[in-house]
Chain A
Amino acid sequence: MRYLPHTNTDIQQMLATIGIADKEALFSGIPADCRLSRPIDLPPGLAEVDILAQLQQLAAKNAQVSDWSSFLGGGAYNHFIPAVIDHLVSRSEFYTAYTPYQPEISQGTLQGIFEFQTMICQLTGMDMANASMYDGASACAEAVLLAVRAAKKRNRVLICKTLHPHYRQTIATYCRYLDVELIAVETDNGTTPLEQVEQLLDERVAALVVGYPNYFGCIEPLSELAARVHTVDARLITAVAEPLALALYKSPGELGADIVVGDGQSFGLPLSYGGPGIGFFAVREKDMRLLPGRLVGETRDLDGNRSFVLTLATREQHIRREKATSNICSNQGMCALMVSIYLALHGKQGLRKLADINYARANWLREQISTLDGFALPFSTPVFNEFVVTCREPVADLKKRLEQQQILAGVAIGRDYPGLESGLLVCVTEQNSRKQMEQLLTALAGEK
């Protein structure tokens, strides 16, 4: 077997050094009634060429977005990935390393994370960010836990219904057996109505969680929400599923958010059927010691050279055990590296220009669809690169009809939003050319 280097001679010499006769003796500490008495029932190992042939067969049964005209978003975004990223992250000094416990031989990973933390702060307008989390949904759940822990005697958290359904469901799972009361805030015109928030806010509330852009692609009135949330000294948690929007719209930090979480998949990660993504988590200085997850800080070595190291470990599970800020003990290191490379490559100008393209195309398509017979825009709030349209034709039928033309028209939102059964969430990125959009319009208009 090509991954196993032992020759028979090696094995015999090693057994002799250990002082046992055969490999079986290695397992003498396992009682007989705990042993598996038969071989593992899996097919024999394959040659590399056969592995790839088998996997190609499975891959061929999937609808890859490069063969389709895809207007799918809803938490995963089809952005172009520059060739630089895969070339750099294929350097195995990065991907075959582990958590940088030995900083003297891990400065590459550590400096990379320090730069990641910095760029997340710059993008979100926050003071500090951690080394990353699993994904946006779990980061959002951890943000709720932070807010409740910080607020001490308060246990109520307001969750805007416009927040991505997966984020809401994940929060509910994480809080299932904790003393946390989750209260849903209704929606109006695609965003969160301020009057209802005012009614729900009191000194029992630890935080309000809102998407920016929200699940409908709409831009929530963050500064107005922040002002209200702060009147009762609660925290505003902002969740960003499409962070490219932050290159165009004011940052949550600038608008008064206390915690900003989200998913960085848009920045250079393949769609990969939804995972791995990468959660980011940024806070104000006051919450630094309550942060979950890994943190990298700057320091010096014995010779006085600038260096980077994992720090503030006393928050973490391997020191604090049951009193830790979270049970998380890794980050999404490789994904954080991809995000950093993507952001460094696009830079200040490129990221804004890319956001402009996304905005212009999405809003053009939105306008065009609204002129078609049988389609309407349910919300008038500004959007970024996603928007909801309502259709006269049943959404399931419409989607099926367009699939015949190799078009993935969008995400049906009815299952998560009763009352919006006619709603289709359409996403447009720089990957959707004008030609693709015109084909979509023709196809939509085709039958009613």
Chain B
Amino acid sequence: MIPTDSRGLVLDEPLLFEQSQPGRIGYSLPDTEVPQSAPPADLLRDDITDFPELSEVDVIRHYTRLSTWNYGVDSGFYPLGSCTMKYNPKVNEVAARLPGFAEIHPQTPEALNQGALELMYRLEQALTEVSGFPAISLQPAAGAQGELTGMLMIRAWHEARGSKRTKVIIPDTAHGTNPATASLCGYEVMPVSSTGILGRDAVAAVMSDEVAALMITNPNTLGLFEADIRAICDLVHEQGGLVYCDGANLNALMGISRPGDLGIDVMHFNLHKTFSTPHGGGGPGAGPVGVAEKLIPFLPLPVIIKEGDDYHFDYERPQSIGRVKSFYGHFGILVRAYSYILAMGGNGLKKATELAVLNANYIRARLEGAYALPFKERSLHEVVFSEENLGGGCRTLDVAKRLIDYGFHPPTIYFPLVVAGALMIEPTETESKQTLDDFCDAMLAIAAEAEQDPDKLKQAPTRARRRRLDEVTAARKPRLRWLP
């Protein structure tokens, strides 16, 4: 059944600052308990101008109402391609809030936080087993920082060998972070075009002794396994380069194929994708990196080591690229990921991958024809359609907005760039056949509407809290803060 007749109460809510009343309070504080004192007068600030003054009830209602304007995985199907919006298990939230995890200070002596270090050590071992990389750093804060960490290690490895390579090969299907990261490491980007699957010959044509690394995503952003990956890794290695893998799509490979076994030298994980930690409206995530033996000396600081039954942070690593953030990792996120691995077990992780791929291929089978499928190869965890077959002059954006009226979060749109008007659908394994059928029914209904009544798409959404936004004015005359 397609839920087009839903109704709900959506309450308006002004900005915090517009509700503020002088003298209203929402805090409770302990007594000072010691004599009052203050810094020298010339250092003291006046009131924080226009800062809000609200009651506790004001604050509760404000954010409760705001929450109802959002769509999350718990609201419904969220097939955002490349983002792996799987269900976020609730026990993980309980785990991260255990006082023995949430209330521990990072400057506490290591001997007093052995449980936290042990948890992280075990998580590293589990990630090693899933990915095939002999060593893991949990330090990077997110996927993009994992990428930066990985590419800095590649550069450090080259420098340690006295090699002064200047270029990095990146396929045109790659996520935008790849070129941005290469450039942060002082590398020049050499794009290589790939039609679906990157061929060894395409890499051979641009590979040279000036190339430090190839950055690849596997499966790639079309959901296709890079079938030449072993030959490509061999080729790059033969000519003195290293291979970086963007691990965003690891959900397609658990128990099926291990990137570390294929010749890849470094890969980042997105724990907020593959390992079910919440996306949080845009973070915090966690972006551990796995590395081959030769890159272990270059791992960022610190590194967790086990000596006997004791766990420590090792800082004495002269070849390390150094520190990429404060303290060590997004511990609260790492606890959630470990809790997920405990729940799934080895077999469960493989089953998750199988069902994620099954779900994506089921959607593909049901929608192919009504929507154009530019790449026919067997795809894995996601499927990318183009806007080519749409009638009534409708575009991908119109389909996306009309899906909102049907009660679904739209897929990723206009990415990857190699597909005209891409609709990139990643259902994940936590969605049932009924949900997928509802979604496919909606997609087919929208394709029919495009032919018969295209205005339904072009005016969409009409049932959300807001209609389409004027994004041009937002960028031309930016208003990035409230002013009285």
- A295 contacts which chain B residues (CB < 8 A)? 478, 480
Closest 5 CB pairs of A and B: A59-B100, A274-B327, A274-B106, A61-B115, A350-B27
Q: Is A443 an interface residue (CB 8 A)?
A: no
A95 touches B142 (CB 8 A): no
CB distance A13 to B106 under 8 Å? no
* B-contacting 9-mer, from A63-71, A188-196, A225-233: A63-71
Check B478–A14 contact: CB distance below 8 A.
no
Residues 191-224 of A, flagged 1 when their CB comes within 8 A of B and 0 if not, give: 0000000000000000000000000000100000
Interface 9-mer from B201-209, B252-260, B388-396, B442-450: B252-260
Contact A17 B362 (CB under 8 A): yes
Binds B, one of A115-123, A152-160, A371-379: A115-123
Q: Is B325 an interface residue (CB 8 A)?
A: yes
| A392 is an interface residue with CB less than 8 A from chain B | no
Q: How far is the CA of A334 from the CA of B433 in the complex (A)?
A: 31
> What is the 8 Å Cβ interface bit string for chain A, positions 164-177, against chain B (1 contact, 0 not)?
10110110111011
* CA–CA, A19 and B368, complex, Å: 13
| Chain B residues within 8 Å of A13, by CB | 433
Q: Is A446 an interface residue (CB 8 A)?
A: no
CA distance A86 to B60 in the complex (A): 11
Question: Bound complex: CA of A64 vs CA of B278, how far in Å?
Answer: 24
* Nearest neighbor of A97 in chain B, beta-carbon distance: B72
Name the residue on A nearest B19 (C-beta): A344
Q: Which of B94, B101, B145, B473 has the most CB of A within 10 A?
A: B101
A-B pairs with beta carbons under 8 Å apart, 23 shown: A1-B351, A26-B354, A26-B361, A31-B230, A36-B261, A39-B346, A40-B346, A43-B345, A50-B342, A51-B339, A72-B107, A74-B107, A76-B326, A93-B68, A97-B279, A105-B69, A107-B66, A174-B324, A248-B44, A274-B331, A317-B176, A324-B176, A408-B108
- When the two chains form their complex, are residues A219 and B39 in contact, meaning their CB atoms are under 8 A apart? yes
In the complex, what's the smallest C-beta–C-beta distance from A18 to chain B, in angstroms? 5
A181 surroundings in chain B (CB, below 8 A): none
Nearest Cβ on chain B to A312's Cβ, whole angstroms: 6
Q: Are A327 and B433 in contact (CB-based, < 8 A)? A: no
Segment with Cβ contacts to A, from B83-91, B235-243, B289-297: B83-91
Chain B residue numbers with a CB within 8 Å of A344 are 16, 26, 52, 54, 59, 62
Chain B stretch 85-117: residues in CB contact (< 8 A) with chain A: 85-89, 91, 93-109, 112-116
Q: Knowing A170-B324, A173-B321, A361-B33, say if A347 contacts B279 (CB, 8 Å).
A: no
CB of B322 within 8 A of CB of A430, answer no
| Chain A CB within 8 A of B348 CB | yes
A100 and B27 within 8 A (CB): no
**What CA separation (Å) do A35 and B253 show in the bound complex?**
9
Is A93 within 8 A of B180, CB to CB? no
A274 touches B284 (CB 8 A): no
A88 to chain B, nearest CB (A): 5
Q: Which residues of B lie under 8 Å from residue A94 when comparing CB positions?
A: 67, 70, 72, 280-281
Known: A17-B365, A106-B70, A271-B104. A357 touches B30 (CB 8 A): yes
Within A7-27, the residues touching B (CB, 8 Å) are 10-11, 13-15, 17-19, 23, 26-27
Q: How far is the CA of A295 from the CA of B478 in the complex (A)?
A: 10
Known: A17-B362, A324-B176. A59 touches B101 (CB 8 A): yes
Give chain B interface residues in 349-366, CB to chain A under 8 Å.
349-352, 354-355, 357-359, 361-362, 364-366
Residue among A40, A90, A176 making CB contact with B349, cutoff 8 Å: A40
Q: Chain A residues near B71 (CB, 8 Å)? A: 93, 97, 102, 105-106
Chain A residues with CB below 8 A from B328, complex form:
273-275
Extra pairs beyond A3-B86, A4-B351 (4, CB < 8 Å): A34-B261, A39-B346, A65-B104, A134-B145
Residues A108 and B69 in contact, CB atoms below 8 Å apart: yes
Q: Is the CB of B331 within 8 A of A318?
A: no
Tell me the complex Cα distance, A341–B25, Å: 13
Quick one: which of B31-54 are within 8 Å of A by CB? 32-40, 43-45, 47-54
CA distance A15 to B355 in the complex (A): 11
Task: Please indicate the chain B residues that have their CB under 8 angstroms from the CB of A334 in the complex.
Answer: 278, 280-281, 283-284
A93 near B72 with CB under 8 A, answer yes
Q: Which of A70, A103, A115, A294 contacts B482 (CB 8 A)?
A: A115
Query: Binary interface profile of A, 332-370, with partner B (CB < 8 Å = 1, else 0)?
Result: 111101001101111111111110110111011000000
Give the residue of B115, B227, B278, B471 whose beta carbon is less than 8 angstroms from that of A95: B278
By the criterion of a CB under 8 Å from any partner CB, how many residues of chain A are at the interface? 201
B430 lies within 8 A of A430 (CB): no
Say how far B412's CB is from chain A's closest CB, in angstroms: 8
Question: Does A63 contact B113, Cβ atoms closer than 8 Å?
Answer: yes
| Contact of A26 (CB < 8 Å), options: B39, B89, B357 | B357
Number of residues on chain B facing chain A (CB within 8 A):
201
> Once the chains are docked, how many angstroms separate the CA of A300 from the CA of B334?
39
**Residue on A with the closest CB to B149?**
A173
CB distance from B398 to the nearest CB of A (A): 13
A378 vs B152: C-alpha distance when bound (angstroms): 39
The residue on A at minimum CB distance from B410 is A102
Task: Decide yes or no: A330 and B285 within 8 Å by CB, A178-B186, A219-B43, A344-B62 being known contacts.
Answer: yes
- Picked from B93, B95, B144, the residue with its CB within 8 Å of the CB of A330 is B144
Residues of A near B104 (CB, < 8 A) are: 62-65, 271-273
- Interface core residue of B29, B141, B328, B430 (most chain A CB under 10 Å): B141
* B382: interface (CB < 8 Å): no
Contact with A along B376-413 (1 / 0, CB 8 A): 01111000000000000000000011001000011010
A177-B185, A297-B479 known; A36 and B256 CB under 8 Å?
A: yes
**Chain B 292-334 near chain A by CB (<8 Å), digits 1 or 0:** 0000000011000000000000000000011111111111110
Q: What residues on A are CB-neighbors of B72 within 8 Å?
A: 92-97
A42 touches B404 (CB 8 A): no
Q: Is A6 an interface residue (CB 8 A)?
A: yes
- Give the residue of B26, B177, B359 whose beta carbon is less than 8 angstroms from that of A347: B26
* Given A17-B362, A111-B66, A349-B53: A62 and B478 interface contact (C-beta under 8 Å): no
How far apart are the CA atoms of A55 and B467 in the complex, in Å? 45
A361-B32 CB under 8 A given contacts A106-B70, A298-B474: yes
Query: Is A321 part of the binding interface, using a Cβ–Cβ cutoff of 8 Å?
Result: yes
CA of A44 to CA of B346, assembled, Å: 6
Asked if B7 CB lies within 8 Å of chain A CBs, one says no
Say whether B141 contacts A331, CB under 8 Å. no
Docked-complex contact B70 and A364, CB < 8 angstroms: no
The distance from the CB of A158 to the nearest CB of chain B, in whole angstroms, is 19
Residue of B nearest to A177 (CB): B186
Contacts of A261 in B (CB 8 A): none
The CA of A316 and the CA of B50, in the complex, are separated in Å by: 31
Closest Cβ–Cβ distance, residue B73 to chain A (whole Å): 4
Q: Contacts A59-B99, A246-B45, A347-B26: A299 and B278 contacting too (C-beta < 8 A)? A: no
Output the nearest chain B residue to A271 by Cβ-Cβ distance: B105
Chain A 68-82: CB-based contact to B (< 8 A → 1; otherwise 0): 001011111010001
Q: Quick check: is B418 within 8 A (CB to CB) of the other chain?
A: no
What B residues does A360 contact at CB under 8 A?
32, 34-37
Within the complex, which residue of B23, B59, B343 is in contact with A84, where a contact is CB–CB below 8 Å? B59
Say yes or no for B183: interface residue by CB 8 A criterion: yes
**Does residue A242 face the partner (Cβ distance < 8 Å to B)?**
no
Q: B residues within 8 A CB of A258?
A: none
- Greatest chain B CB density within 10 A among A74, A87, A272 is at A272
Decide: A98 and B480 in contact? CB cutoff 8 A.
Answer: no
CB-based nearest B residue for A91: B67
On chain B, the residues within 8 Å of A340 by CB distance are: 16
Check: B5 CB closer than 8 A to any chain A CB. Answer: no
Q: Are B225 and A30 in contact (CB under 8 A)?
A: yes
Q: Contacts A97-B72, A270-B103 given; indicate if A3 touches B87 (C-beta within 8 A).
A: yes
Task: Report yes or no: A273 in contact with B69, Cβ–Cβ below 8 A.
Answer: no
In the complex, chain A residues 224-264 whose Cβ is within 8 Å of any chain B Cβ: 246-251, 254, 263
